[in-house]
Amino acid sequence: MANMVKVARGNRKISVFATYEQMSDFAIKKWQEISQRAVADRGFFAVALSGGKTPAGFYDKLSRSKKGLPWDKTHIFLVDERFVPFDDDQSNYRMIREHLLGSIEIPTENIHHIPTRQITPEISSKKYESYLVDFFKLKPGEMPTFDLVMLGIGEDGHTASLFPWTSELMEKRRLAISVALKRLKNRRISLTLPVINNARNVIFLVSGENKAEVIKKILEEGDRMLPAARVTPDRANLFFLMDEKAASLLSVSYKKASVRVEKS
C-alpha cells in the first residue's frame, strides 16, 4: 500500500492514506485479520457497524472481497440507528443492507438489527439491550465484548449517536440508549461508550476536508468534550484510519513525532 503514513501511540494507531480506496483496502485487511483471529479463538466474530456516508464505499468493497471473510461465523450488529422503519432512506440498517448485507452469504440469524418497530425509541433501546445480553450471555453488570466496532466521526465530534454536551456521554450502566435532540431530525438508538470502550478493536473511518478540524481537536488537543475523543478503550486496538484530506490540519511536528510501526 503506497503513500501511507502510519503511527502508533500506546494502543492508538493512526494511519493516513492518499485515497479513500487505500483506506478501505487497509480496513478490509484489518477486518480479515480480526475476524479470522476471533473465529479461531472463540468460534465467531461479532462486529458492530456504523451508518453515515463514509463507510458506504468500504462496505461495497468488503462485500466484493472474496477471500478470508468467515461470513457464516460473522455476527453483524449496528452501532446506532434512527428510529425509522427499515425501508426509510434514513435507516442505517437499510444503508448497510444495500451496501453489504444484500451481497454476501451470511445467515439471516447472524444479522442483529436495532428493532425500530417498537412504540418508543426507549423500548427499542431496551429490546436491543436484551438481544445483546442474550447473545453475549451477560450477567448483570457485564458489558458485551465486540471483536470490532466500526465508527465514524461527525463534524461536531459525535460518534455513534453520542453527541457533545449530552448526558448520554455519562452513561455507565446501559448498553444501548435512546437519544432525542432538537437538532436531530430523527430520534436515535445508540450503543453506549462503556460498550464501545469494551471492544477488542475499534476502527474509526474518516474521510474528507470537512473532518480536518475535528480530527485535529481529537488527536492533537484531546478535547474531551468531543464524544469521539472519549473512545479510549483500555485493552482494544484503536485505529484512526483517514484520508489525507481529513488529516490535512494535523501539525507537521505531530507527524514527525510519529513512530512508524509497519511497512506499507
Give min distance, CB of 49 to ligand 6PG, in A: 9
Nearer to ligand 6PG (CB atom), residue 13 or residue 82: 82
- Distance, in Å, from the CA atom of 183 to the CA atom of 247, rounded to the nearest integer, reads 27
Radius of gyration of the CA atoms of the chain, in A: 17
Neighbours of 263 (CB within 10 A): 7
Which CB atom, from 161 or from 198, has the smaller least distance to ligand 6PG? 161
The least CB distance from residue 28 to ligand 6PG, in Å, is 17
Grid cell, residue 262, equals: 509497519
Q: Coil, helix or strand for 206?
A: strand
Nearer to ligand 6PG, 22 or 54 (CB): 54
Inter-helix orientation angle 55-64/20-42, to 10°: 60
3 and 18 Cβ atoms separated by less than 8 Å: yes
Distance CA 95, CA 52 (A): 8
Instruction: Give the binding site for ligand 6PG (CB under 6 A).
Output: 50-54, 79-80, 92, 152-154, 158-160
Q: Which is nearer to ligand 6PG, 54 or 125 (CB)?
A: 54
- Smaller CB distance to ligand 6PG: residue 35 or 50? 50
Are 114 and 93 in contact by the 8 Å Cβ rule? The answer is yes
Q: Which residues pair with 240 in a beta bridge?
A: 14, 204
Question: At its nearest, how many Å lie between ligand 6PG and the CB of residue 165?
Answer: 16
Q: Which residue is nearest to ligand 6PG (CB)?
A: 152
Rounded to a whole number of angstroms, the minimum distance from the CB of residue 2 to ligand 6PG is 25
144 vs 227, which CB is nearer to ligand 6PG? 227
Cα-Cα end-to-end distance for the chain: 5
Give the nearest distance from C-beta 262 to ligand 6PG in angstroms: 26
For residue 166, the surrounding DSSP H or E stretch is none
CB of 153 to ligand 6PG, least distance (A): 6
